[in-house]
Amino acid sequence: MESITAANSALRINDIVYDNSTFFVVGYAGYIGYSSNANDWKRATTPNRNQVNALTFGSGKYIAVGNGGVLWTSTNGIQWDEVPSANVLNLAGAKISLSTYNINSIVYDTQDGFVAVGNHGLVMKSADGVMWAVGNSSYDDYDGITQLN
């Protein structure tokens, strides 16, 4: 177990999420930590060491996003897998690479599914967290997205 305190102060936390039973934090070097009590933390298994910027939960899936096109999925928040590049399509239906994008924020809404935003005007949407449609807006960068009820 690890503690998120001065003992590992080099750890930079970018987001924290609670799913009604477990706390999750995400940050630099591919870090996703989880804890049932917000005191004793374990590190999740992630596909690489890219910076993770945000995490959300919905429809039985956890989705994490980050720099270098990080787009990871998990059913338990502990074991993470990359979303296959074949599942990321532009609005014309062609496969695209996210490796040049920093995906900065993600939300889940029961009506719209998952929506993520990032640099270079990146806007992504997925009904199921598996297949993603990617578009670009006229804005340069999006730092965050928030669900309003």
Q: Has residue 4 got a pLDDT over 60?
A: no
- What's the pLDDT at 137? 83
CATH number of the domain that 112 lies in?
Answer: 2.130.10.10
How many structural domains compose the chain? Answer: 1
**Rounded Cα–Cα distance for residues 144 and 106 (Å):** 8
Let me know how long the chain is.
Answer: 149
What phi, psi does 7 have (nearest 5°)? -60, -30
- What's the pLDDT at 7? 46
pLDDT averaged over every residue in the chain: 91
Q: Could you list the residue range(s) of the whole structural domain that residue 18 is in? A: 6-136
Token code pair at residue 58: 């919905």
Q: Which residue has the higher pLDDT, 52 or 143?
A: 52
Residue of 13, 11, 23, 8 lying closest to 53 (CA atoms): 13
Domain membership of residue 109 (yes or no) is yes
Q: pTM value? A: 0.90
For residue range 28-41, list pLDDT tens digits in order. Answer: 999 999 999 999 99
Q: Are residues 18 and 31 in contact, defined by beta-carbon separation less than 8 angstroms?
A: no
